[in-house]
Structure 1
Amino acid sequence: MKSTILLPVLVLIGILSTSSRVITVQERYMEQYKYMAISEMNRSGIPASIKLAQGILESQSGRSELAVNANNHFGIKCKSNWSGETYQYKDDDLDENGELIHSCFRMYGSGEQSYIDHTDFILNRSRYKPLFSLPKNDYKAWAMGLKKCGYATDPNYGIRLIETIEKYNLNLLDAPVIVKPVPVLPVIENTIKTQVNTTNKQVVKGSLNSSKYSKNKSYNVKSKKRFRTFTAPRLSESK
């Protein structure tokens, strides 16, 4: 009797502990922007794992001042060709006296715009061109390549990207989504015609060339439903 009661209790405890788990800010950020990272990977070839890991680090999972006030998730500065809105922020620029001064950063209307501009920023600069000769699924080579191309001044930037990717299994986002063929039941030629009588039973009459049914008789049969089966592609969740 005790074992009979104990099992449901253990199951209930397991359900409660799972449902009450606190979602971290990193998980919320990944859930919000992972599909954007995949979309930009398909457009440009930049691995989704790299882009999302950069977003996590550069924006502190969407909590940095630049991300909150300027929707800038990648710390991209204005540069001479930027004609959009700007945001002044003290980063790493110094004046002649060595004092930290405000730097000009790009400001976006949304985080998604920041992701798109990050792609264009890398695509349109020749110093990042060597990255696109790397295998698209080699996130380690891309991480170290970004550092080598001068994306960040942090000497450990590439290592930090790799650690972030491996911590959250972001490399799963780089795998191509394989769409399975949809199995469709064959359409039977010369199908049996049906009519519904007043007692809600289905009366089936055979076709003229069918030897199974007589031309002058009606048969009561149970209706059978035919289904088409669709298999939706499943995207691996990052942990």
Structure 2
Amino acid sequence: MKRAFLYLLLSIVATTSIFASGLTRKEYIQKYQSLAVQEMLRTGIPASITLAQGLLESGNGNSLLATKGNNHFGIKCHDWSGPSMKMDDDRRNECFRKYDHAYDSYKDHSEFLTTRSRYAFLFKYDSDDYKGWAHGLKKAGYATDPSYAHRLIKIIEEEGLHRLDQKGKGDNLIIEEPEDPYLADIDSDLEIDPFGARLEIANGIHYILTKKGDTFYSIEKNLGVTRKKLLRYNDLPKNYILQVNQRLYLHNKRGRAARGYNFHRAKEGENLYGIAQEYGVKLKKVCKFNGVKKDYRVVVGERIWLRKRR
């Protein structure tokens, strides 16, 4: 009994020490906001949501799971074959993923949400709709806490994290950079994806323009999107060979064009597929709006509808 009491006392002291000397909420934001923004530009997951989840799940980066395993999002092993660690959660001695760097945790969080079907509906929300994403995560069963969505929203609004969601949309990042340079040094040996600077946005969807030397394999390796998904996202056949200077969307196109783009006036040399790609709209939707089939030949000057005609 005495030994058990002593062990409990030492655990409390150790935990208190860790949290007392750990990061504050603002320090965590300053240290990891660039990773959240990078993942938003890569996948479309709002930076505010990613960062709020990191804050909440890791206790501002001070939990044992984060400090010992670089796991900032409480992701359990599931089909994981990498390093792991055991901790009590819903049940005793559960298996959690363990990473070499915090960056790996952020990328795996994105992979977790983008590859599981139960989260697919979330990507119908805009990347700045943090409330929709927060309630959607709870609906999809990311956490068992009934107040999970409200806790995320509270963090986002208290810290102004929604401003991060405007990064890449023409607005500057408003949250101040840290004064302590150590906090800005996120895994100094981290290599930033070479594709990062090439990301573009159309209709709220991220894409790259392919260059000479790009392959489906290199894109998957650097951006985490499989060939199968790239083909599906871009309305391409299974045997398609990648072309140079091709617009390649990294997640699902939308069912209609952005507001203000009701139709496109066809130009010389254009086709239905190219128009759909230009505006980030699913080809089958463009066909439906115009009452035509995929192989329809557009006429110069013709209106190609990008939204449902009123």
TM-score tier (shorter): 0.5 to 0.7
Residue 152 of structure 2 aligns with which residue? 161
**1:87 paired to 2:102:** no
Give 2:6's aligned residue: none
Deviation of residue 50 (structure 1)? 0.2
Residues 102-117 of structure 1 correspond to what in structure 2 (within 5 A)? 102-117=93-108
Percent of aligned positions with the same letter in both sequences?
49
Q: Give yes or no for the alignment of 1:32 onto 2:26.
A: no
- Identify the residue that residue 7 of structure 1 maps to in structure 2: none
- From the CA coordinates, give the structure whose radius of gyration is larger: 1
Count of residue correspondences: 156
Displacement of 1:176 in angstroms is 3.3
Give the conservation status (yes or no) of the 8 Å contact 1:147–1:157: yes
Partners of 1:178 and 1:60 lie apart in 2 by 30
Other-structure match for 1:133: 124
1:133, 1:151 → 2: CA distance?
17
Q: Deviations over 1:66-111 (max 9, x none)?
A: 00111100000000x2111000001112xxxxxxx20000000011
Structure 1 residue ranges without an equivalent (≥5): 1-23, 94-100, 180-232
Cα deviation for residue 178 of structure 1 reads: 5.4
Equivalent residue number for residue 189 of structure 1: none
- Return the alpha-carbon distance in structure 1 between the equivalents of residues 125 and 158 of structure 2: 22
Do the aligned partners of 2:41 and 2:168 also contact (CA within 8 Å) in 1? no
- After superposition, what is the alpha-carbon deviation per residue over 1:4-34, rounded to whole angstroms, capped at 9, x for unaligned? xxxxxxxxxxxxxxxxxxxx71111001110
**Structure 1 residue aligned with 2:175:** 237
Question: How high is the TM-score relative to the length of structure 2?
Answer: 0.48
Seen in structure 2, the aligned counterparts of structure 1 residues 238 and 174 have a Cα distance that, compared at 3 Å, is farther
CA distance in 1, matches of 2:72, 2:166: 24
Name the SS for the 1:236 alignment partner.
coil
Q: Give the drift of 1:135.
A: 1.7
Using the size of structure 1 for normalisation, the TM-score is 0.63
TM superposition shift of 1:238: 6.2
Deviation at 1:130, TM superposition (A): 0.5
Q: Which residue of 2 aligns with 1:54?
A: 53
Partner SS state of residue 81, structure 2: coil
Tell whether the 8 Å contact from 1:72 to 1:111 is kept in structure 2 after alignment.
Answer: yes
Distance in 1 separating the partners of 2:42 and 2:154 = 25
Q: 1:43 to 1:173 in 2, by over 3 A?
A: same
CA distance in 2, matches of 1:128, 1:140: 15
3-state SS, counterpart of residue 141 of structure 2: coil
RMSD of the TM alignment (CA)? 1.8
Alignment partner, residue 124 of structure 1: 115
Residues 168 and 238 in structure 1, CA contact (< 8 A), matched pair in contact too: no
